[in-house]
A and B are shown apart, each in its own frame.
Chain A
């Protein structure tokens, strides 16, 4: 039976994992995602899941176990954060290159040094070229919905690409809120049976997985891998629609909030978008024509759709919860600015890095941004393209 439960983000992901009952779960604890691993272990101990639960000696091995298990031919998941994802880095590329649809819940956390356990997006942004599909969640409900959809997207035969679902460390992982947990059987029927492709466990086929490619084949194989993720937008749309039809919550590539007649807009992902929407409401009541765009899918980047949504705006601020030292702007900003390049009519655009190491962002900071956007919209001039929010200089 479906029911509203009071759960935090970690419990929500664990609950989804219980319903999905993957064949193999291999994961290593790290704050703030530890409780996902612990809860799944407890489900196993209590006989509530029939998954094989493997608790390896490191995240590098956790992802290696996922790779071996997925290549063997079954449904596989993991969860981690920050240093754990960084330790998996080598294996992330291999999971994608071998076209293994592993699903990972990533509770976003800042990367060391300095060591810090709180939420920012530097971990998953560091993995943005690894070939994984990346989906970000604003709250527990979205984390739940995204995590379930991730299996359908990654396992689709035209995609066969690993998927990570991001949720913000502590802000989402440790905050309890009402979450509508769908009926177990309905979730299972939505996901369906896993379809193995060239599984190692079919020993009658004797396949060689992961041979060495030289100059004569590597490039073509990489091209065909890229095709998998390029096929995914259609699948992401289909799955988001079907999910909506079944469960009443529809998903696309991004959410537009009060964008219809907006003159200025703020682009922000994940939990901060919730705060942002409150700020937009206040600003609207003060008479400002401002909207918010919240990207959900960061890889593949929905460049055309986002550009279409933003091209008529006068001034846009992109808020990034990660820095890219030495780059011309942080990751989300560079994507969006580049997406707008071909449009004759395009907004003035600025970038703010916010919230590193879990630093708060509240309505006042959004208002600060709104004021700057207003000035840019009026004068047509950008004084400072790259800046920071809530930072002592």
Chain B
């Protein structure tokens, strides 16, 4: 078990001075993930809040080798870096014992949407890398447009609520399941409020042989519209309502890492954020009902998968 005290003493690979919003979940997530390996690390970062806020030339908040090339290709970019590493090792231009870890990073837009193909391809080809999606449910960097990770009923600027619209009318794409379907050694969902769990998952991902994928819930006070001091409690609420289950799939076996003693109604989650405010109008009541049904269905399904996996 990692101790917070020890982690705190490690060198920061993402340092202070970046321009992310007050209460943003991104630095929180990456400060933990980047501590989960002590090997040299190279990161390819998709366009999005993390990339833009950390590297406004001539400053950089990265104390680690880092590249940004475009929005949809963090996975293929890191695959290229990894391929070169293998090539130069084969040719003896890099010492055989030199270990480097490779990390692709994207938001939900860069991962669920525009970068899904590149991620699928890189994972299918078996490049040795970890991919982390920080899922804030929205294109935050560009001002709050919908993504396929935006939940049912949330208002986004390209799926706004209005007198004739309850906000986004589609549910979320289940990216973690898509990644499981690639039959890679490690897939997990995590959240920053359980830092130990996030740390463990990042460590497993870095140590996996083959590609590994982490989907991490990312708080975004700016687009979710809540008081930024409440962030970590919100993350807890996402787990307690089962809106964001914490689980991992190791070599195809499911394990739920957190089961709320008493599953809270999604209503509490919806009430906590301005992006859902319009759902409390009478005509939108059916949406709230539907959200609860969807969450219950998904949780039930996940529980069954974990149950099957626990059988010998």
Please give the residue numbers on chain A whose beta carbons come within 8 Å of chain B beta carbons, in ascending order.
23-24, 26, 50-52, 54-58, 60-62, 64-74, 76, 90-91, 94, 98, 200-201, 203-214, 217, 221
Shortest beta-carbon distance from A237 to chain B in Å = 31
Q: List 27 A-B contacts (CB under 8 A).
A: A23-B91, A24-B83, A52-B84, A54-B80, A54-B125, A58-B121, A68-B77, A68-B80, A69-B80, A71-B81, A72-B42, A72-B81, A72-B88, A74-B88, A74-B93, A76-B80, A91-B69, A91-B73, A200-B67, A201-B42, A201-B88, A203-B41, A207-B66, A210-B67, A211-B57, A212-B51, A217-B58
Shortest beta-carbon distance from B81 to chain A in Å = 4
Complex interface: chain A residues within 8 A of B291 (CB): none
Using A68-B78, A68-B79, A91-B73 as known contacts, say yes or no to A58 and B117 having CB atoms under 8 A apart.
Answer: yes
Complex interface: chain B residues within 8 A of A208 (CB): 55, 60, 62, 66-67
Nearest CB in chain B to that of A60: its residue: B73
Partner of B80 from A26, A58, A90 at Cβ < 8 Å: A26
Give the distance in Å from the alpha carbon of A71 to the alpha carbon of B76 in the complex.
13
Does chain A have a CB within 8 A of B68?
yes
Say yes or no: B73 contacts A51, CB within 8 Å.
Answer: no
Using A64-B80, A201-B42 as known contacts, say yes or no to A23 and B69 having CB atoms under 8 A apart.
Answer: no
Using A71-B67, A208-B60, A210-B68 as known contacts, say yes or no to A61 and B121 having CB atoms under 8 A apart.
Answer: yes
Interface hits, B22-79 → A, CB 8 Å: 40-42, 44, 51-52, 55-58, 60, 62-70, 72-73, 76-79
Say yes or no: B56 contacts A26, CB within 8 Å.
Answer: no
Specify which of B51, B58, B62, B65 lies most central, judged by the most chain A CB atoms within 10 Å of its CB: B65
Complex interface: chain B residues within 8 A of A68 (CB): 44, 67, 69, 76-84
Nearest CB in chain A to that of B67: its residue: A209
Say yes or no: A57 contacts B81, CB within 8 Å.
Answer: no
Does chain A have a CB within 8 A of B21?
no
Shortest beta-carbon distance from B109 to chain A in Å = 16
Complex interface: chain A residues within 8 A of B85 (CB): 72, 201
Say yes or no: B40 contacts A65, CB within 8 Å.
Answer: no
Interface of A is mostly: mixed
Give 4 A-B pairs besides A58-B117, A68-B80, A201-B100 with Cβ atoms closer than 8 angstroms. Answer: A68-B67, A68-B82, A71-B81, A212-B52
The 8 closest A-B pairs by CB, nearest first: A68-B80, A57-B121, A211-B55, A72-B84, A203-B40, A64-B76, A65-B80, A61-B76
Shortest beta-carbon distance from A147 to chain B in Å = 20
Say yes or no: B77 contacts A206, CB within 8 Å.
Answer: no
Give the distance in Å from the alpha carbon of A206 to the alpha carbon of B57 in the complex.
15
Say yes or no: B87 contacts A24, CB within 8 Å.
Answer: yes
Does chain A have a CB within 8 A of B300?
no
Number of B residues near A (Cβ < 8 Å) is: 47
Partner of B70 from A64, A201, A204 at Cβ < 8 Å: A64
Say yes or no: B84 contacts A94, CB within 8 Å.
Answer: no
Nearest CB in chain B to that of A207: its residue: B65
Complex interface: chain B residues within 8 A of A214 (CB): 56-57
Interface string of B98-120 (1 = CB under 8 A from A): 00100000000000000001101
Nearest CB in chain A to that of B92: its residue: A50
Give the distance in Å from the alpha carbon of A72 to the alpha carbon of B42 in the complex.
9
Complex interface: chain B residues within 8 A of A65 (CB): 76-77, 79-80, 83
Specify which of A24, A60, A209 lies most central, judged by the most chain B CB atoms within 10 Å of its CB: A209
Complex interface: chain A residues within 8 A of B55 (CB): 208, 210-212
Give the distance in Å from the alpha carbon of A273 to the alpha carbon of B88 in the complex.
41
Say yes or no: B80 contacts A206, CB within 8 Å.
Answer: no
Give the distance in Å from the alpha carbon of A69 to the alpha carbon of B87 in the complex.
10
Does chain A have a CB within 8 A of B94?
yes
Say yes or no: B84 contacts A57, CB within 8 Å.
Answer: no
Does chain A have a CB within 8 A of B183?
no
Nearest CB in chain A to that of B56: its residue: A212
Specify which of B52, B76, B93 lies most central, judged by the most chain A CB atoms within 10 Å of its CB: B76
Complex interface: chain B residues within 8 A of A212 (CB): 51-52, 55-57, 68
Using A68-B69, A94-B69, A206-B64 as known contacts, say yes or no to A74 and B87 having CB atoms under 8 A apart.
Answer: yes
Give the distance in Å from the alpha carbon of A208 to the alpha carbon of B42 in the complex.
10
Say yes or no: A54 contacts B42, CB within 8 Å.
Answer: no
Give the distance in Å from the alpha carbon of A74 to the alpha carbon of B100 in the complex.
16
Partner of B42 from A23, A76, A90, A203 at Cβ < 8 Å: A203
Specify which of A23, A62, A72, A206 lies most central, judged by the most chain B CB atoms within 10 Å of its CB: A72
Complex interface: chain B residues within 8 A of A211 (CB): 55-57, 60, 68
Complex interface: chain A residues within 8 A of B76 (CB): 56, 60-62, 64-65, 68
Say yes or no: B124 contacts A52, CB within 8 Å.
Answer: no
Does chain A have a CB within 8 A of B90?
yes
Shortest beta-carbon distance from A131 to chain B in Å = 14
Shortest beta-carbon distance from B116 to chain A in Å = 11
Using A91-B73, A212-B51 as known contacts, say yes or no to A61 and B87 having CB atoms under 8 A apart.
Answer: no
Complex interface: chain A residues within 8 A of B62 (CB): 206, 208
Say yes or no: A69 contacts B69, CB within 8 Å.
Answer: no
Complex interface: chain A residues within 8 A of B58 (CB): 217
Say yes or no: B84 contacts A61, CB within 8 Å.
Answer: no
Using A68-B44, A71-B81, A200-B42 as known contacts, say yes or no to A56 and B121 having CB atoms under 8 A apart.
Answer: yes
Shortest beta-carbon distance from B125 to chain A in Å = 7
